[in-house]
Amino acid sequence: MANTIQNGVTQNQVGTVQKGTPRSAAKSIATSFQKMFDEVNNDQVVAEKKVAEMMTGKNKDIPGTIMAMEKADVSLRMLMAVRNKVVNAYQEMMRMQV
């Protein structure tokens, strides 16, 4: 997920003027969030699979399972932090006087 965020920043450098419509910008943001959601979901699925394998005895890699669980937890926290920042920015824009 960090790669998705980092790639999004490098593709849309802050301070550069990009031509496009608000609709295309919204579509780009939606696509970026979809990629982040997919990555977080994938991390969660991998962690659940490793836990299930460990519980059934197919996998005895305890450190690998713990690392997968932590990766899933950190990616979910990061996604929530990004979501909170976007919601706060939206709320701030809605409070602006025009």
**How many structural domains does the chain have?**
1
More confident residue, 6 or 43: 43
Q: Is residue 12 part of a domain?
A: no
pLDDT band at 21 (very low <50, low <70, confident <90, very high): confident
Ramachandran angles phi, psi of 13, nearest 5°: -60, 140
Q: What torsion do the CA atoms of 80, 7, 34, 92 make, to the nearest 10 degrees?
A: 50
Q: Please, are residues 1 and 33 in contact by the beta-carbon 8 Å criterion?
A: no
pLDDT at 17: 47
Q: Is residue 3 part of a domain?
A: no
pLDDT at 13: 47
| Cα distance between residue 62 and residue 65, in whole Å | 5
Q: What percent of the chain has pLDDT over 90?
A: 59
For 58-87, the pLDDT digits (tens) are 988 999 999 999 999 999 999 999 999 999
pLDDT at 19: 65
Residue 59 belongs to what domain range?
22-95
More confident residue, 56 or 9: 56
User: Does the pLDDT of residue 43 top 80, yes or no?
Assistant: yes
Q: Is residue 17 part of a domain?
A: no
Q: Is residue 63 part of a domain?
A: yes
**Ordered alpha helix ranges (H), 1-98:** 2-11, 22-56, 62-95
pLDDT at 72: 96
